[in-house]
């Protein structure tokens, strides 16, 4: 069944009215009267609906049941992903949203090729990618992509997270040595050039655990998805 995210201001008692861009989306899905669809408010509430009418410029749905979304992970996972070329970064957003990430924080590291703040348009595009991946994978929230931060600011942001890892290919400690019992988990993944030694030292001084993901050097996007999948495998499957 298709799932879409909508603002709560189009939900009236047992009816949902869909206009504008969201209506274009409904048309693209080729929905017809009596088709089923889930509308989510992005705050874990799923409205199970039937399409009542499709007009020229709007669609009307009738709400059959409301329930709490049950697709979120039991952990809040924060991905601190080094900025990288646009297509790779967008790939990481899409796939990590499918895997259940809670927030993505783009980080600007010493060895990032891309250091410019990507600007408002890029943030809007990233949000759209997150929304569409969240719809496709049936999430109960749309994971937020924050404004890029420099490495040190990201480390201080991570102080509020229960358990933090930094993926470092030179670490002697495998990710396998950890259990993921904490409610919130932060993951730092470096750029193609890796983290600098001073970044690794700074992370260690903030109690961020350096972990190896195995003997092979993974591309940055593979590393992010590997570590996320490992946490999902351990905690939720």
Q: Where along the sequence are the contacts to ligand SAM (CB under 6 A)?
A: 167-169, 189-190, 192-195, 212-214, 216-220, 223
Residue 87 CB, nearest approach to ligand SAM (Å): 16
Rg (CA), the chain: 20
Comparing CA positions, the residue from 127, 111, 115 lying closest to residue 200 is: 111
Closer to ligand SAM by Cβ: residue 32 or 216: 216
Q: Locate 95 and state its tokens.
A: 């796939």
Taking the alpha carbons of 83, 88, 93, 99 in that order, is the dihedral positive or negative?
negative
Closer to ligand SAM by Cβ: residue 140 or 186: 186
| Neighbour tally for 3: CB within 10 Å | 18
Closer to ligand SAM by Cβ: residue 155 or 223: 223
Residue 176 CB, nearest approach to ligand SAM (Å): 12
Q: What is the DSSP letter of 115?
A: -
Q: Locate 102 and state its tokens.
A: 């809670």
Residue 130 CB, nearest approach to ligand SAM (Å): 21
Closer to ligand SAM by Cβ: residue 61 or 208: 208
Closer to ligand SAM by Cβ: residue 5 or 80: 80
Taking the alpha carbons of 87, 90, 92, 95 in that order, is the dihedral positive or negative?
negative
Residue 167 CB, nearest approach to ligand SAM (Å): 3
Residue 153 CB, nearest approach to ligand SAM (Å): 18
């Amino acid at each position: 069944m298709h799932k879409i995210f909508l603002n709560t201001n189009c939900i009236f008692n047992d009816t949902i009215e869909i206009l504008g861009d969201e209506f274009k989306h409904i048309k693209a899905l080729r929905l017809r009267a009596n088709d089923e669809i889930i509308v989510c408010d992005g705050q874990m509430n799923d409205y199970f609906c039937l399409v009542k009418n499709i007009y020229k410029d709007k669609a009307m749905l009738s709400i059959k049941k409301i329930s709490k979304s049950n697709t979120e992970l039991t952990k809040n996972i924060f991905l601190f992903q080094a900025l990288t070329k646009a297509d790779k970064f967008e790939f990481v957003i899409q796939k990590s949203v499918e895997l259940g990430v809670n927030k993505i924080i783009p980080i600007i590291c010493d060895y990032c090729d891309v250091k410019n703040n990507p600007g408002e348009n890029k943030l809007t595009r990233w949000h759209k990618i997150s929304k569409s991946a969240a719809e496709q994978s049936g999430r109960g929230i749309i994971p937020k992509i924050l404004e890029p931060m420099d490495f040190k600011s990201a480390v201080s942001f991570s102080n509020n997270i229960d358990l933090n890892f930094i993926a470092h290919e030179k670490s002697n400690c495998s990710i396998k040595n950890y259990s993921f019992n904490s409610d919130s988990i932060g993951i730092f993944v470096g750029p193609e050039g890796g983290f600098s030694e001073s970044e690794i030292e700074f992370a260690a001084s903030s109690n961020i655990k350096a972990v190896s993901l195995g003997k092979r050097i993974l591309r940055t996007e593979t590393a992010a998805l590997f570590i996320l999948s490992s946490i999902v495998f351990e905690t939720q499957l």
